Amino acid sequence: MKKYDSIGIFLLLFSSLFLGCTKNDGYYDFQNQENLFDGNTIAYFESKPQVYDSLMHVLSYFPELKSQLSTDSLTIFAPTNASFQSAISNLNLIRKNQNKQPLYIKDLNRDQLDTLVSKYIVKGLVTTDSMLYVDGLFVETLKYEQPMHAQRIKQEASGLVDGGLVTVYYSDTKGSNFTTYWTRSATQAVNIKTQNGIVHILANGHEFGFGEFLNRVNL
């Protein structure tokens, strides 16, 4: 192969790599690869039982809420199975020390469970574009009108201006204007659009209940 041909191939490959990086908005803006789901929000959760079995188990106790997630324009900050497992494990460690029998989702007080799961479902379609205010966005839950807060944080990416991974911090304000009293959780994926709603997925490290699980269900 001639020397000039080799140089030309090298430049072509380099250009392709460079263009691939600069056009990779799907990663840097964290537009999830499956950000358009051909089905309603409940169908989305049902399509991923390995991630949302626990959430679906809880929602099965509240058919009206489950129906609304199938038809209404709602946003859910979805806790994964890991979030429920963490909460149940910590609950049963404490109950073991108290010489009490372990509890599982099916055993929990339904009124308390209703209050807790309702914290994750808010009115309207709330995408990260709705959270561009300096101080984020206050939202209300569908049930009980609990005040919650969503804030978009865009991390810096090397070599890109304002091009980092988008994370949303979703917070239970506990009814306070002072952020020191809030309990917040980060997302691991955002802006998944179903036929009727928006899904943001909370990080696996989030413990279901925003710090209220133990006090509410360890009766």
Q: Which helix (H) or strand (E) holds 183?
A: strand 183-193
Mean pLDDT value of segment 121-145: 94
Alpha helices in the chain (DSSP H): 3-22, 25-28, 41-46, 49-59, 63-71, 81-97, 110-118, 213-217
Mean pLDDT value of segment 143-166: 74
Q: Using one digit for the tens of pLDDT, what is the confidence trace for 80-97?
A: 999 999 999 999 999 999
Q: What is the pTM of this model?
A: 0.82
Which architecture does CATH list for 28-217? Roll (2.30)
Q: Which helix (H) or strand (E) holds 150?
A: strand 147-154
Query: Residue holding tokens 């929990």?
Result: 108
What is the spatial distance between Cα 34 and Cα 13, in angstroms, rounded to a whole number? 29
Beta bridge partners of 17: none
Confidence band for 133, pLDDT divided at 50, 70 and 90: confident
What is the spatial distance between Cα 110 and Cα 123, in angstroms, rounded to a whole number? 22
How confident is the model at residue 140, as a pLDDT? 96
Q: What are 28's two structure tokens?
A: 């840097």
Q: Using one digit for the tens of pLDDT, what is the confidence trace for 29-45?
A: 344 455 899 999 999 99
How confident is the model at residue 55, as a pLDDT? 98
Query: For the chain, which residues make up each domain, given as ranges?
Result: 28-217
Highest mean pLDDT among 5-19, 107-121, 130-144, 149-163: 107-121
What is the spatial distance between Cα 215 and Cα 104, in angstroms, rounded to a whole number? 15
How confident is the model at residue 164, as a pLDDT? 57
Beta bridge partners of 139: 148
The 3-state DSSP class for residue 10 equals helix
How confident is the model at residue 154, as a pLDDT? 74
Which H, E and C letters describe 54-81, residue by residue? HHHHHHCCCHHHHHHHHHCCEEEEECCH
Phi and psi at residue 108, to the nearest 5°: -75, 150
Higher per-residue pLDDT: 163 or 127: 127
Confidence band for 202, pLDDT divided at 50, 70 and 90: very high
What is the spatial distance between Cα 114 and Cα 111, in angstroms, rounded to a whole number? 5
- CA 49 from chain center: how many Å? 16
